[in-house]
A = this chain, B = another copy of it.
Amino acid sequence: MNNSLRVGIAGLGTVGASLVRVLNEKSGLLISQCGRPITVTSVSARDKSRDRGVDISGFQWFDKAEELAVSADVDVYVELIGGDEGPARDSVLAALKAGKHVVTANKALLAKHGLELARAAEASGVVLNFEAAVAGGIPIVKTMRESISGNDTNRLYGIMNGTANYILTRMERDEISFEECLADAQRLGYAEADPTFDIEGNDTAHKLAILTSIAFGTEVAVDEIYLEGISNISLGDIQAARDLGYRIKLLGVAQKTDTGIEQRVHPTMVPLTSVIAQIDGVTNAVAVEADIVGSLLMSGPGAGGDATASAVMGDLADIAKSRPGHQQAPVFGRSVADLKTYQRAEIESHAGGYFVRMVVHDKPGAFAAIATDFAENNISLESIVQRDPAHTVASNAKTVIIITHETTESAIRKAIKSITEEGYLVSTPQVIRIEKAE
């Protein structure tokens, strides 16, 4: 049909191949839903001859994504190359400037160059959709950009990295160490050969930066995010957390405070009975707290070829339903001119409860000194637990676990500095922030 929405796809990895397949399989359904066909006309990838399990012989082939992006046969350019520079960035910018709509799953690109891309989309009056860039198949971008229009967000938090969540879930369930679990995840293909990006929180930070911009109407600021990974979480931490009614999750959290917006990615204790604590394995979940609607939570597959392709397909369907000249929601929920400068709240001013696990020399006065150091920093304690010997590192040492009531990061740091300087600690203490969650 000549009213087709003509799609060019660059990048034919797992997601790209899935997308080609589902757009073909679901062509009838999509016509029924969108009122016109969505038709792949062109593709580009590194290697034309590679077998991807889908027939690409009917599409025009481009060696260079930048050329496909501006092709006259393309209404929408789908970027699935990845990376925040090079062909991905160049081709997306070229497409936007040429007046093509763009759909991308590229979180790094949006986190680093989101503003530039949003400006280019606005200048051309085209759509830039990126549902697949955050939490895979979960429609969190659409929810925040469209469904809760008119709401001011107070906080958002979520499990946005399946690899890290898989490792934490397996550590607890199978009572194995972080290292053992990571090796297993790598064997099963849930973790990359170099897992740094997933387990140290960088991937979560990219997604958080994008959602923060939409939630608070601020310019994307990925470099301002406080980052801690999960590689130093021990089985002992996980078990102690459970005994105290918590579970450890790698969360990305963005929160409005009096001094600015907190953006932080770190291992977090959430109540065992909360919904987010039940999110197992590679599943993702994002919760939003906004002033009119209240609390929303969404969970679903955070990755995978089909789930990601589904999000891209939804973005394409939105464009197919719209008619030429119609501009949908602005890229980050409002026009670039209306985005405020990001004002960072320093991590030292973070307020919340804390879990502190210390291995302490078993000598008289240690307990009293520790309690005094917390008291002198106005930190009130919810509970103190001395763990059984199985969890201590040596016969003359004891593990002491403290859960605090709400305090500040700077108070906790001061207390721990004092305790450390007084020589009571066998090793560096473990400090994990507690997050309120439903």
From B142, B326, B330, give the contact of A326 (CB < 8 A). Answer: B326
Chain B neighbourhood of A26, CB < 8 A: 150-152, 292
- In contact, A306 and B322 (Cβ under 8 angstroms): no
Closest residue of chain B to A312 (Cβ to Cβ) is B150
Q: Which A132-188 residues have C-beta < 8 A from chain B?
A: 137-139, 142-143, 146-152
Residue A410 at the B interface, CB < 8 A? no
Chain B neighbourhood of A299, CB < 8 A: 275, 296-298
From B32, B137, B292, give the contact of A294 (CB < 8 A). Answer: B137
Residue A92 at the B interface, CB < 8 A? no
Number of copies: 2
- In contact, A311 and B147 (Cβ under 8 angstroms): yes
Residue A313 at the B interface, CB < 8 A? yes
Q: Which A320-335 residues have C-beta < 8 A from chain B?
A: 321-323, 325-330, 333-335
Write the A250-294 contact mask toward B (1 if CB under 8 angstroms, else 0).
Answer: 000000000000000000000001110011000100000010111
Residue A230 at the B interface, CB < 8 A? no
Chain B neighbourhood of A352, CB < 8 A: none
Residue A295 at the B interface, CB < 8 A? yes
**What separation, in Å, do the CA atoms of A30 and B329 have in the docked complex?**
12
Residue A217 at the B interface, CB < 8 A? yes
- In contact, B137 and A296 (Cβ under 8 angstroms): yes
From B150, B283, B307, give the contact of A22 (CB < 8 A). Answer: B150
- In contact, A294 and B306 (Cβ under 8 angstroms): yes
In the complex where A275-B275, A275-B279 touch, is A149 in contact with B293 (Cβ < 8 A)? Answer: no
- In contact, B149 and A34 (Cβ under 8 angstroms): yes
Residue A318 at the B interface, CB < 8 A? yes
Chain B neighbourhood of A245, CB < 8 A: none
In the complex where A295-B300, A326-B323 touch, is A142 in contact with B150 (Cβ < 8 A)? Answer: no
Chain B neighbourhood of A87, CB < 8 A: none
Residue A338 at the B interface, CB < 8 A? yes
From B34, B150, B314, B327, give the contact of A148 (CB < 8 A). Answer: B314
Write the A326-353 contact mask toward B (1 if CB under 8 angstroms, else 0).
Answer: 1111100111001000000000000000
Residue A131 at the B interface, CB < 8 A? yes
- In contact, A296 and B294 (Cβ under 8 angstroms): no
- In contact, A149 and B33 (Cβ under 8 angstroms): yes
From B137, B142, B297, B438, give the contact of A293 (CB < 8 A). Answer: B137
From B32, B146, B296, B311, give the contact of A138 (CB < 8 A). Answer: B296
From B23, B147, B310, give the contact of A131 (CB < 8 A). Answer: B147
Chain B neighbourhood of A298, CB < 8 A: 296-299
**What separation, in Å, do the CA atoms of A353 and B323 have in the docked complex?**
48
Residue A317 at the B interface, CB < 8 A? yes
19 residue pairs A–B, Cβ–Cβ below 8 Å: A22-B292, A29-B217, A30-B150, A138-B296, A149-B313, A149-B314, A149-B317, A150-B310, A150-B317, A151-B310, A273-B278, A278-B278, A292-B306, A293-B310, A293-B311, A295-B301, A296-B298, A297-B300, A298-B298
Q: A35-B335, A148-B310, A149-B314 are in contact. List 12 more A-B contacts (CB 8 A).
A: A26-B150, A29-B217, A137-B294, A139-B147, A149-B313, A149-B318, A151-B310, A274-B278, A275-B278, A297-B299, A298-B298, A321-B329
Task: List residues of chain A with CB under 8 Å of any chain B CB.
Answer: 22-23, 26, 29-30, 32-35, 131, 137-139, 142-143, 146-152, 217, 273-275, 278-279, 283, 290, 292-301, 304, 306-307, 309-311, 313-314, 317-318, 321-323, 325-330, 333-335, 338, 438
